Amino acid sequence: MRNHTTLLITLLLPAAAASGQWSSDPTVNTLVSDDMTNCAITHTAAAPDGGVWISWYDASAGYDIIVQKLNADGIPVFASPALVQDQSLSWVQDFDVAAVGDGCAIAWADGSTIGAALIDSNGNVAWQHDLNDGSGYQSNAQVCGANDGFTVVGWMDENVSKLQRIGTDGTLVWASPVSIGGSGYHAMSDLKPASDHDVVASIVYYTSFNGAKTLKAQRIRADGSLVWASPTINVFTSGSLQIGNFPEFIADDTGGGIFTWYSNTNLQSYIQWIDGSGMPLFGSQGSLIASSGSLLHTGPTACFDPIAGEVTAFCTRQSTNQAQDGVQANRFNRSGDAIWGANGIEVDPLSGTWSVYDLQAHQLGGLATASWIGLDVTLQGTVRGQALNTNGDDQWGASPIELGTPELSRSDLTGDVIGDMLVAVWVDDRDGSDRAYAQNITEDGTLGETGCIADITEDGVVGVNDLLVLIAAWGTADSPADINGDGLVAAEDLLLVLAGWGPCP
């Protein structure tokens, strides 16, 4: 009788492993945008196969939405970046990107249109819709993948927020969009997946343009019904958001979300944790992220550690006159306790030589990472990054690491975690044009070859032994075999084993 495991291994063995493309030189980075020379507003989404989707606007002939995918080695998957939407506009709103199944969902708005499309694994448009069902002004497009493989799109239609759920074949699930609103204005701010195929939306609420802008939230079931109190529950109501600020949030492990924002009343940053039942865990108005006399704290962002059940928040620290910038962090448990003290810890000290732009937070294994662009008064500088362990200790050196040479203009930083590395993406003009670049940073702060994330047995080779361990753990949450860290040993982990087959570098 033939051994079926041996047959499976024989069928799946790759002919040869692809060579890695990530550079170990911080000034030599992966060009993502090919020959496009007017890139702006980058977005990323980690793919379940260990790659990363990267999208941006090409402004060379109107703002067109473009997408490319890099695999775990930093190699472009498509021969050239794929066109998603030719908007041919001289102005543009932001757009949003999410990995859905083995594809990439993208949503955009242009005032009269709410567009959504799914790009498949070959770079083709699998489906596309204009979701506008009325005559109001359409804005603030957001998109996420529900945990059943469906796509959910959210947007603002005049004075209410709307959502539509789209099947894997592109079919609109709800006969008409779900509407969230009432008196005043309900502006879609962000959208994330929750448990049980639900999604959570954050919403900026206001009664007039010059009135206070507060933050609210709602959880929406797969059938379109609302889970929390109608129309929304309160996240932040004592003060006001900055005009034009639509804060992002992160999903937790209960079907809720962790929200960060700063108030323009006192220019201080706050954090609130809403659990899956809609209960605020950090009091009625959230917790102050960092307190230090007259110093200001703005632009907060957070990442969630599911193992410890804690969240790390980063924010930009500024002097009273806003002439100096730094980065501050704090860590919170589910009770709202500031684990690193009321003041938090210093990630990068106040400096008058550069300012903080596009601060990002990502959980990389057991590390909370922050990345940002540090620019001088001429708007030139580098991408900077640091990682903290659960005690708040620096893990990438005494000073943040730097990517790119400092004599360049940089903008539009974004990033995501794939496997055991953070991928940062930004735009700079190193060749006189605005092109999009990417760089990986591993858990130990090194660049370039990522080692062997698929070497489950840690014997220096990705091979049959690793494949056997993975097969034995199939369908479980076995930590060593769950290579991509999504809580399930499945096909995505198998793809990482095959991609890394052979001796470790």
CATH of the domain at 345: 2.130.10.120
Same domain, 64 and 159: yes
pLDDT interval class at 478 (50, 70, 90)? low
- Length, in residues, of the chain: 505
Same domain, 474 and 340: no
What is the structure's pLDDT at 61?
83
What is the structure's pLDDT at 16?
32
What is the structure's pLDDT at 324?
97
Of 30-39, 62-71, 200-209, 494-503, least confident by mean pLDDT is 494-503
Same domain, 440 and 463: no
pLDDT interval class at 451 (50, 70, 90)? low
Final residue of a domain: which of 423, 448, 473?
A: 448
> Does residue 223 lie within any of the structural domains?
yes
Amino acid symbol at 272: Q
Structural domains of the chain, count: 2
> Does residue 95 lie within any of the structural domains?
yes
Same domain, 467 and 444: no
Largest CA distance in the chain: 79
Say what percent of the chain tops pLDDT 70. Answer: 93
Q: Which residues contact 102 (CB under 8 A, 6 or more apart)?
A: 47, 48, 49, 120, 121
Q: Please give the Cα distance from 108 to 100 (Å, whole number).
A: 16
Same domain, 204 and 223: yes
Cα separations (Å) of 65 from 38, 121, 251, 259?
12, 17, 26, 28
Q: Which residues contact 457 (CB under 8 A, 6 or more apart)?
A: 465, 466, 469
Same domain, 479 and 492: yes
Domain enclosing residue 181, as ranges: 37-448
Cα separations (Å) of 15 from 49, 157, 225, 392, 415?
19, 52, 50, 44, 31
What is the structure's pLDDT at 138?
96
pLDDT interval class at 460 (50, 70, 90)? confident
> Does residue 472 lie within any of the structural domains?
yes
The mean of the pLDDT values for the chain is 92
Question: Which of 419, 471, 451, 452 shows the shortest CA–CA distance to 12?
Answer: 471
Final residue of a domain: which of 430, 448, 466?
A: 448
> Does residue 2 lie within any of the structural domains?
no
pLDDT interval class at 488 (50, 70, 90)? confident
pLDDT interval class at 1 (50, 70, 90)? very low
Same domain, 273 and 359: yes
Residue 496 burial class via C-beta count within 10 angstroms: exposed 0-12, middle 13-18, buried 19 and up: buried
How many CA within 13 A on the CB side of residue 434?
A: 17
Structure tokens at 34: 């090919």
Q: What angle do CA 154, 157, 160 make, to 5 degrees?
A: 85
Same domain, 226 and 296: yes
Q: Are 357 and 373 in contact (CB under 8 A)?
A: yes
How confident is the model over 206-237, as pLDDT tens digits? 999 999 999 999 999 999 999 999 999 999 99
> Does residue 13 lie within any of the structural domains?
no
Q: Which residues contact 262 (CB under 8 A, 6 or more apart)?
A: 241, 242, 245, 268, 269, 270, 297, 298, 299, 300, 315
Q: Are 396 and 427 in contact (CB under 8 A)?
A: no
Same domain, 256 and 339: yes
> Does residue 185 lie within any of the structural domains?
yes
Is the pLDDT assigned to residue 4 strictly greater than 60?
no
> Does residue 288 lie within any of the structural domains?
yes
Q: Are 410 and 383 in contact (CB under 8 A)?
A: yes
* CATH number for the domain harbouring residue 457: 1.10.1330.10
> Does residue 28 lie within any of the structural domains?
no
Q: Please give the Cα distance from 245 to 378 (Å, whole number).
A: 25
Same domain, 444 and 464: no
Structure tokens at 356: 């903080």
What is the structure's pLDDT at 121?
96
Same domain, 437 and 474: no
Same domain, 190 and 286: yes
Question: Which of 30, 79, 80, 77 shows the shortest CA–CA distance to 58?
Answer: 80
Final residue of a domain: which of 403, 431, 448?
A: 448
Is the pLDDT assigned to residue 6 strictly greater than 50?
no
